[in-house]
Amino acid sequence: MNLLKKIQHWGDQHHPKWLDYFRIVLGVILIWKGITFYTNMEAFSHLMRGAMLGAAVSISLLAHLIIVMHILGGIAITLGTHTRLFCLLNLPILIGAVFFINISGGIFKPYAEFWLSSLVLTGLVCFIIEGNGILSVESQKAVS
């Protein structure tokens, strides 16, 4: 636990302002991906057609969990509240997206989402270390 506190302290002390803008863009991308995931639910209904009942329920729960985590996490990351927590909660989803979903689709195809998912994954890891920054709701609470 001492190592985590040291990383958190270092991240709080060494946080350039431009990184806050990157955090805000990262949150907006997560919100956008959550909404597009919701609007493209027919891909999951296609997966559930041939599945047994237990697998279909699991796929459905997983899809809704991903949507909720992306939208709520994106809002929290954009606002700068509980950034480390929501980055940590979105991390397994993005690891799955990068290594299991997007690589199988071909990373050199036009409009491949591998690169965007990789960038978002890198941003999540960055903000687990860096934290909120100056332009955040929690930082404004502390100043007031």
Model pLDDT for residues 85-125, shown as the tens digit of each residue: 999 999 999 998 888 776 665 555 655 678 888 899 999 99
Note the pLDDT of residue 41: 76
The residue type of 84 is: R
The alpha-helical segments, DSSP class H, found in the chain are 2-13, 17-39, 42-49, 53-79, 83-96, 114-130, 137-143
> What's the CA gap between 140 and 54, in Å, rounded?
46
The three-state secondary structure class of 1 is coil
Q: Show Cβ contacts of residue 91 under 8 Å, excluding neighbours closer than 6 positions.
A: 121, 124, 125, 128
Note the pLDDT of residue 101: 72
- More confident: 65 or 138: 65
* pTM of the complete model beyond 0.95: no
